[in-house]
């Protein structure tokens, strides 16, 4: 399970895995912040290239991974606004990177949201 903070209001959101976390943030943005025009980016099927060694591993019950053994596994979430994958080593790191992404790419963030509420 990964816990992140909403990049707009800092509410805690907890889910297991990229798809669940992305859907939870999307639902939160729609319900709490009334953000419109969000697409279900988690339903987009991205074809994956398989190599012959992957097929042999899959026959043995192993799932192919896109990382080397012992490599640090990062948490990920898809931005509900543009679909860009955001990475972090843990929930706090992921929250910080997501908030930076919202501010830098979409000009959204906590300070802007709080200012908008006061107007």
Tokens of 44: 């987009």
Q: Is the pLDDT of residue 73 over 90?
A: no
What are 25-72's pLDDT values in tens digits? 999 999 998 887 776 555 544 444 445 656 666 667 665 555 565 556
112 located within any domain: yes
Phi/psi of residue 3, each to 5°?
-115, 125
- Which pLDDT band holds residue 119 (cuts at 50, 70, 90)? very low
Q: How far apart are the first and last CA of the chain?
A: 37
Range of the domain at 33: 2-44+74-118
> What local confidence, expressed as pLDDT, does residue 108 receive?
81
Q: Which of 95, 93, 107 has the alpha carbon at shortest distance from 10?
A: 95
89 located within any domain: yes
Q: Are 86 and 97 in contact (CB under 8 A)?
A: yes
Q: Is the pLDDT of residue 118 over 50?
A: no
13 located within any domain: yes
Q: Which of 48, 100, 58 has the alpha carbon at shortest distance from 79?
A: 100
When divided into structural domains, the chain yields a total of: 1
């Amino acid at each position: 399970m990964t816990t992140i903070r909403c990049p707009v209001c800092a509410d805690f959101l907890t889910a297991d895995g990229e798809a669940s976390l992305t859907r939870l943030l999307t639902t939160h943005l729609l319900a709490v912040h009334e953000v419109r025009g969000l697409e279900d980016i988690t339903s987009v099927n991205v074809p994956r290239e398989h190599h012959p060694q992957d097929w042999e591993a899959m026959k043995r019950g192993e799932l192919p991974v896109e990382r080397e053994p012992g490599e640090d596994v990062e948490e990920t979430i898809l931005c509900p606004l543009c679909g860009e994958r955001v990475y972090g080593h843990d929930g706090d790191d992921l929250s910080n990177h997501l908030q930076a992404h919202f501010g830098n790419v979409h000009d959204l963030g906590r300070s802007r949201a709080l200012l908008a509420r006061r107007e």
